[in-house]
Amino acid sequence: MAAPSLTGPVPAGITSAPHPRPRSAPDLGQLILKVGPMAHGGHCVARHEGRPVFVRHAIPGETVVAELTAADPSDQFWRADTVKVIRASEFRRLNQWKLADSLRSYPAGRQPVGGAEYGHIVLDYQRRLKAQVFRDTMVRLGRQTLEDVEVLVHGLHADEPAGLHWRTRTTFAVSPGGRLSIPVHNGQDAIPVSNIPLAVQELNELHLWEIDFSGAASVSVTTPGHGREGLIIITPVPEISDSPETLKSYADGWRRQLSRLPQRVSAIVAVRRSTQTSQKTKPQTSPSETVENLQLRGRSWVREDVSSEQFGTKAFRVTGDGYWPVHRDAPATLVEAIMQAADVQDGQVIADLYSGAGLFSAFLSDAAGQHGAVLSVEADSSASRDARFNLQDVPQAIVLEGKAEEVLSSWLDAPATDFSQGGLHSRRVDTVVMHPPRSGAGRAVLSRVHELGPGKIIYVSSETAAFAQDTRWLTEHGWGLDAVQVYDLAPDTHRMTSVGLFTRPGAGSA
């Protein structure tokens, strides 16, 4: 059953159907809403007859006409997109990415693409809203007091005034016609694009939208912000991956089209093949996947240069789609924040969990010195190989491939095991640095870190809700959030990155 079309009198010039409806959008109706505070995830909270409605592309205090995108009568809350502004906020601006602007997308008969849900808000006010969301989330989920999390969200000077041209990694869908596309938010459609305003200029200068990527399920493009090289990763649809002859034909076609690109741009095909492992005790089969890289041109990695005025300059190899901070200046920003929070002394032992290609480990190793040790723990085999390459000339850096939970357990079970065998060499861990995935570290990892008893925990997070939940666990076990810095490393989106320093009375003492 469709929701009521409007909650009140319709202002002059507004009709119940002011635009063609996007193909993928069900006819759920529209509401006139007085918009409340910003919530985690990029939605504002409004209410219709007491029911919460999460509204995207709005600003707190506005009155808007909202197109319902999810409105089952049995749901506790509904979702909607702003399609017309009746009373605008003083902080509203024209969204500089037309395809992400709901006010222009719906009249054109389509939904806005995802990934720029704050693009209609002036940059300074975006950060004020992010600070409010961070505080609210830390109080609600993290059980912190407002005084403990009274933060400012720090922006980077290079992003002023518009918040554009910062993204170094972008993954595209591919349209039926072979064009690079960006999916709409929470929808099935993807919209072909001819530029990405949030991406560094090196991506837009490649003009990849002119290439026919038919046969690909997705295309990931890495364009480092501090270099001129690039890497294109094409993932074929399963039907092509499973047929060697068909795969070769498509790969030859992609190679021919990419030949016009500058030589500094490499390209690979990531061939993902599903296998079925029979389960004798169950009638079903459990799927697994193998990945093979087919080189089209160049190499399978990019070089990332990270320069800090205080801590020096280092170069890193990052293979394929391995994790690396997306904002062009995020690596240096996070390195400086972590180094200042950790305050590593010569001879200390540092555990760097979820270490990726060894970004933080490299700088931490300089501070720990030859009498110290940095244990760089990473589960992904490709990232671990990169870390070994990046840290090969740093004898105090030890790369351990394995899940954080399992490595921590091994340290607790056999602390006397030598460094060369992946142990602690009977040394105490002075500081744990962790940058877990967006799902957070979780209780299994946190409980083992707690048992390890370091003097400090430095927790880097790009997902505030997960950080808040892990903060709650730590504070319930005696840790205090001594300091937290929050950075706007994804302008025009709702995302932010926090660096928290946790300590515990008596922790890390000899």
pLDDT recorded at residue 24: 52
Residues near 252 by beta carbon (within 8 Å), at least 6 away in sequence = none
Q: What does the DSSP assignment read for 394-427?
A: -TTEEEEES-HHHHHHHHHH-TTS-GGGTS-TTP
Angstrom distance (rounded) from CA 432 to CA 450: 10
pLDDT digit string, tens, across residues 421-450: 999 999 999 999 999 999 999 999 999 999
Q: Which two tokens stand for residue 392?
A: 């090969």
Number of continuous H segments (helices) and E segments (strands) in the chain: 11, 23
Give which of 160, 133, 9, 19 is closest to 84, Cα–Cα.
19
Q: What pLDDT digit, counting tens, does each position of 38-83 carry?
A: 999 999 999 999 999 999 999 999 999 999 999 999 999 999 999 9
How far is it between the farthest Cα atoms of the chain?
Answer: 77
pLDDT tens digits, one per residue of 238-268: 999 999 999 999 999 999 999 999 999 999 9
User: Residues 434, 441: contact at Cβ < 8 Å?
Assistant: yes
Token pair 């993204």: residue:
167
The pLDDT score that the predictor gives to residue 3 is 45
Place of tokens 């320069």: 307
Quote the CA–CA distance of 278 and 119 in Å, as a whole number: 48
Q: Where residue 8 falls among pLDDT bands split at 50, 70, 90?
A: very low
Across 291-301, average pLDDT = 94
Sheet holding 373-378, edge to edge: 153-154, 480-487, 497-503, 456-461, 431-434, 349-353, 373-378, 397-401
Predicted TM-score (pTM) of the model is 0.91
DSSP 137-167: HHHHTT---GGGG---EEPPGGGTTT--S-B
Q: Which tens digits make up the pLDDT trace of 344-399?
A: 999 999 999 999 999 999 999 999 999 999 999 999 999 999 999 999 999 999 99
Q: What is the pLDDT of residue 25?
A: 53
CA 309/CA 303 separation, integer angstroms: 20
User: Residue 276's pLDDT is what?
Assistant: 55
Rounded Cα distance, 64 and 84, in Å? 6
